[in-house]
Structure 1
Amino acid sequence: MNLTSIVNKLYFQPRRRELDRYEHDGEAIQAEVLKYLIERAKDTEYGRNHLFSTIKSYEDYAQNVPVNTYEELKNDIDRMRHGELNILWPGQVKWYAKSSGTTNDKSKFIPVSNEGLQSVHYQGGKDVVALYLANNPDSRLFSGKSLILGGSHSPNYNLPNSLVGDLSAILIENINPLANLKRVPSKQVALLSDFEVKRDRIAQETLNADVTNISGVPSWMLSVLVRVMELSGKTHLEEVWPNLEVFFHGGIAFTPYREQYEQLITKSCMNYMETYNASEGFFGIQSDPDDQSMLLMLDYGVFYEFLPMDEFEREDPNIVPLGGVEIGKNYAMLISTACGLWRYEIGDTVQFTSKDPYKFIITGRTKYFINAFGEELIMDNAEKGLDAACKATGAQILDYTAAPIFMDANAKCRHQWLIEFAKEPCSLEEFTAILDSKLQEINSDYEAKRFHDVTLQRLEIIPARKNLFSDWLKSKGKLGGQHKVPRLSNSRKNIEEMLAMN
């Protein structure tokens, strides 16, 4: 029996039996989580202000606690960052995950309590392995090393042992020392802030390692792997790491990158497993390799609510707990967590594909969509459209963004796409036509607005120069880590900045 089989039997198989509760007890599990969170936080300042001690049901909770964005919690979080105790969560919170900013701020700082670190973030990582081994009992995952991409961190207001930075850096900083024996690169390299230097150092350190699994954001991991190939002089990645068996990926959609990974890693037994982990928590894991939807993780320190996107702008939307969701409906997700986020609008939109157990797909962002003309184009539409155009033309995409042109010199309105191709289509005209046609096929609102070109003309694609998106992120101080390009926007601000650099 190999090391992986032993660890699986002793550690991961008992956890999988606990996960079996998800099949029929999802709502009961979530009720337990809500009860726990309220009890833990009832004596915090936020708990006292919102009468947590009187809450006996979900209905009480929804009545007492308002829906929050970062703006509503920002002042409390800043007080916590300065060392104040018992504000949003009991005791002192020492770690803060730096996330992309809001309208008024360059960055958000998401509190990461010790309980949240253990019961949400690290538990998510453990369950990824548990579910992977359930589907791959012959795995030799622990026979080699794990290549895990991380960001960087810095002191938080110079408070002792308090850090602010990418969530991945906080996880690496606090990880069990035993796990470091199985992880590459070294901690020193993993926490470097300059991604271009880090990329080269990671490639050098891992070139001769026995890497069995890789974890990270697809775009940044691809950049590292390309450098590994350059240094090795090999044609395919399995020539460098013959025992590589799985890529655990998350952060952005994998669809635009899949073909490039499959060309880089040609072994038929390579596995890909999607996760939904964010600065705010760990929420989903792909439990079935033949099903692209993810299992909603219900027994962590996270309580979920769902706001129908067709009511997103309403003053009094019909927000529902888990038991009230409908399959196929688009929801904005709200979370309450063991890190002190209460009915927090995370900004992601999801759609359920199953309720026994609860499984879902990520459909986009509440802010990343185009609805300039009533077309309601979401990221899920964009990914499917691009996938169809790539398959039909042989193109490969590295990055993209899109925004509306409200009216040009000829009084024409359209969507403008800026796309960096890894492999350009033979005919950009054909690619454009297929993308436009596919969007009409899967989005009836877009189709209606495109009817006879009356409201909306056919979309326009502008090829981006090499590294345009990386250069734009670098100009924003957001190269590497978990930073990502905003895909869709009603505003032209981002695309205009990129076009000026193109």
Structure 2
Amino acid sequence: MGIKAALSKPFAAFVVKGIQKWKKNAVEAQQRTLLTLVKEAKHTAFGKDHDLASVKNHEDFKKRVPIRDYEGLKSYIDRIVKGEPNVLWKGKPAYFAKTSGTTSGAKYIPISKESMPEHIKAARNALLTYVHETGNADFVNGKMIFLQGSPVMAKKNGIKIGRLSGIVANLVPAYLQKNRLPSYATNCIEDWEEKVDAIVEETFHQDMTVISGIPPWVQMYFDRLTEKSGGKRIETIFPNFKLFVYGGVNYEPYRAKIEASIGHRIDSIETYPASEGFIAYQDSQKEKGLLLLADAGIFYEFVPADEYYNDNPARLTLAEVELDVNYALILNTNAGLWGYSIGDTVKFVSKEPYKIVVTGRIKHFISAFGEHVIGEEVEHALLSVANEEGIGITEFTVAPQVVDPDGGLPYHEWFVEFAELPGDFNDFSRKVDQALQKKNIYYFDLIEGKILQPLIIRPLQKDAFVNYMRSEGKLGGQNKVPRLSNDRKIADSLSNFTLKK
């Protein structure tokens, strides 16, 4: 065991001891966080506009601060972008994380000097909790790769601007820099396919022990490695590869193919970072769910998903949530986001400690006929059948077909890229439809009532989703295909890649 591995174990034990303190008192930690946030921001423009100085509890806060998405806060953020201090948070942000928005073009998410360390600490602690639970620490002596955006940053009125992963890349602790790949020059390559090829060249003969990234783009990296090696599995190319760290999408649709590429099952850590804050991470290989970070500068609110579009939806604190209820996640952060709807939905799978699973996006659902099918339900329906029959799924998305071209009833149209096609396609589709009916009673009623016909699956050509993302200029990075759409934009594009059954 190397020096780093040996030292990581007592350090991990020390860190986990601190985590245990707030984990057992998460509700109290959240109450402290709310009061700290409003105290720090009461003299800002937002604080004065919303009378944060008079907030004593969550009831006060709800009366003064409405729920908003980015568009709702944009007038304040525009002032910050122009260089005005003390708008949403004291002073100016340390960074803007630049992301793409669907309605507002580029989005500038403020990151403060108080919030940035929480991103770094959470990423570190996810690894340390793994070390503490498993005793596996040898990976810290090898090379680690993080498939991420470019670290090149611009400046606007004195504030650095970049992608979140690129900002974080500039702040990796010194003790990890020697182990970290790819090189700065390679990380700066903007074209994703060119970048992946360069990463393959840099890492092919290295002792890679940790690989991190969004699953579909990690799969592309593995495919290129296998091609370069003449067909070898990743376990042969990187015999000491021990840990896969991922986030951004549900791993389960990709697990079978990634593990087939590796050659065996591997330990993995799921993380839930966002430009708005690092929200949760998997702290156990034995227990389901991600540990909600209740003492990390974010005060969370939870809106029952079925109330989200109501005029006055319930806004619950951590103390009020229930298990297995779908909630829209609302953030209040030490970077100055207030009542901010991040767009994600979550469910609690544990309250001792508080652990969540991400179930989808509040805007990514199908309710063309009143069924309100969500991402968690379609993933379960497809994967439960695919796993039972030993069929690999590369990627998929679902959209409504309101007008059947053949004159029949409307239906849900599934576009699926299979690793291998089912032997009996009709039987496979029937089983997926039945699985979805069991998960969603409204969908069941629509099928039973002859409002909808059973779903139809369109098998796609190999690399259909990669080619689609390439055509949209969204290949790689943090980009991903929505599982569900209420319109036909993605579906109609994917129709060009269908196979004959």
Q: Bin the TM-score by the shorter chain.
A: over 0.9
Determine the structure 2 residue equivalent to 1:18. 18
2:244 paired with 1:241 = no
Deviation at 1:411, TM superposition (A): 4.6
Amino acid at match of 2:113: N
Amino acid at match of 1:36: T
- For the Cα contact (< 8 Å) 1:330–1:351, is it kept in 2? yes
Deviation at 1:61, TM superposition (A): 1.3
Amino acid at match of 1:99: T
The correspondence for 1:334, drawn from 321, 330, 333, is 330
2:273 paired with 1:288 = no
- For the Cα contact (< 8 Å) 2:247–2:271, is it kept in 1? yes
Residues 176 and 160 (structure 1), Cα distance of their counterparts in 2 relative to 1, 3 Å cut: farther
Determine the structure 2 residue equivalent to 1:116. 115
Matches within 5 A, 1:429-440: 429-440=426-437
Matches within 5 A, 1:64-83: 64-83=64-83
- For the Cα contact (< 8 Å) 1:153–1:163, is it kept in 2? no
Determine the structure 1 residue equivalent to 2:306. 310
Determine the C-alpha separation between the residues in 2 that align with 1:53 and 1:36: 11
Deviation at 1:158, TM superposition (A): 4.8
Deviation at 1:403, TM superposition (A): 0.9
Query: What CA RMSD, in Å, does the superposition of the two structures yield over aligned residues?
Result: 1.9
Determine the structure 1 residue equivalent to 2:161. 163
Residues 161 and 79 (structure 1), Cα distance of their counterparts in 2 relative to 1, 3 Å cut: closer
2:203 paired with 1:206 = yes
Determine the structure 2 residue equivalent to 1:219. 216
- For the Cα contact (< 8 Å) 1:351–1:363, is it kept in 2? yes
- For the Cα contact (< 8 Å) 1:285–1:294, is it kept in 2? yes
Determine the C-alpha separation between the residues in 1 that align with 2:127 and 2:155: 36
Residues 294 and 195 (structure 1), Cα distance of their counterparts in 2 relative to 1, 3 Å cut: same
Output one character per residue of 1:128-175: Cα deviation in whole Å (capped at 9) or x when no partner: 1121112221331211011111112655465456223x2111111233
Aligned length: 497
Amino acid at match of 1:487: R
Note the residue ranges of structure 2 that are not aligned, 5 or more in a row. Answer: none
- For the Cα contact (< 8 Å) 1:353–1:359, is it kept in 2? yes
| TM-score, normalised by the number of residues in structure 1 | 0.94
Matches within 5 A, 1:121-136: 121-136=119-134
Deviation at 1:425, TM superposition (A): 2.1
Output one character per residue of 1:222-260: Cα deviation in whole Å (capped at 9) or x when no partner: 101111122123522111111111101110111111111
Determine the structure 2 residue equivalent to 1:86. 86
Residues 109 and 447 (structure 1), Cα distance of their counterparts in 2 relative to 1, 3 Å cut: same
Amino acid at match of 2:245: F
Determine the structure 1 residue equivalent to 2:184. 187
Note the residue ranges of structure 1 that are not aligned, 5 or more in a row. Answer: none
Determine the C-alpha separation between the residues in 1 that align with 2:224 and 2:288: 29
Q: Quick one: percent identity of the two aligned structures? A: 36
* 1:209 alignment partner, SS class: coil
- For the Cα contact (< 8 Å) 1:248–1:273, is it kept in 2? yes
Amino acid at match of 1:106: G
User: Please, which moves more after superposition, 383-392 or 318-327?
Assistant: 383-392
- For the Cα contact (< 8 Å) 1:274–1:294, is it kept in 2? yes
Residues 153 and 68 (structure 1), Cα distance of their counterparts in 2 relative to 1, 3 Å cut: farther
* 2:211 alignment partner, SS class: strand
| TM-score, normalised by the number of residues in structure 2 | 0.95
Determine the structure 1 residue equivalent to 2:340. 344
Residues 500 and 232 (structure 1), Cα distance of their counterparts in 2 relative to 1, 3 Å cut: closer
Determine the C-alpha separation between the residues in 1 that align with 2:492 and 2:106: 21
User: Please, which moves more after superposition, 60-69 or 175-184?
Assistant: 175-184
Deviation at 1:394, TM superposition (A): 2.8
2:264 paired with 1:264 = no
2:375 paired with 1:376 = no
Output one character per residue of 1:85-141: Cα deviation in whole Å (capped at 9) or x when no partner: 111122122422233413x2333221122221112x111101111211122213312
Deviation at 1:192, TM superposition (A): 1.7
User: Please, which moves more after superposition, 312-321 or 270-279?
Assistant: 270-279
Determine the C-alpha separation between the residues in 1 that align with 2:469 and 2:36: 40
* 1:239 alignment partner, SS class: helix
Determine the C-alpha separation between the residues in 1 that align with 2:231 and 2:237: 7
Residues 11 and 139 (structure 1), Cα distance of their counterparts in 2 relative to 1, 3 Å cut: closer
Determine the C-alpha separation between the residues in 1 that align with 2:408 and 2:123: 52
- For the Cα contact (< 8 Å) 1:97–1:279, is it kept in 2? yes
The correspondence for 1:273, drawn from 263, 269, 274, is 269
Output one character per residue of 1:345-392: Cα deviation in whole Å (capped at 9) or x when no partner: 011111111111101111111011111112221111111111122123
- For the Cα contact (< 8 Å) 1:22–1:356, is it kept in 2? no
Amino acid at match of 1:136: T
Amino acid at match of 1:142: V
Amino acid at match of 1:132: Y
- For the Cα contact (< 8 Å) 1:123–1:300, is it kept in 2? no
Deviation at 1:82, TM superposition (A): 2.7
Determine the C-alpha separation between the residues in 1 that align with 2:412 and 2:100: 25
- For the Cα contact (< 8 Å) 1:257–1:397, is it kept in 2? yes
Amino acid at match of 2:130: Y
Determine the C-alpha separation between the residues in 2 that align with 1:344 and 1:227: 39
Determine the C-alpha separation between the residues in 2 that align with 1:161 and 1:201: 30
2:460 paired with 1:464 = yes
Residues 11 and 81 (structure 1), Cα distance of their counterparts in 2 relative to 1, 3 Å cut: farther
- For the Cα contact (< 8 Å) 1:401–1:487, is it kept in 2? yes
The correspondence for 1:442, drawn from 434, 439, 444, is 439
* 1:423 alignment partner, SS class: coil
Deviation at 1:5, TM superposition (A): 4.1
Determine the C-alpha separation between the residues in 2 that align with 1:161 and 1:80: 9
- For the Cα contact (< 8 Å) 2:96–2:108, is it kept in 1? yes
* 1:162 alignment partner, SS class: strand
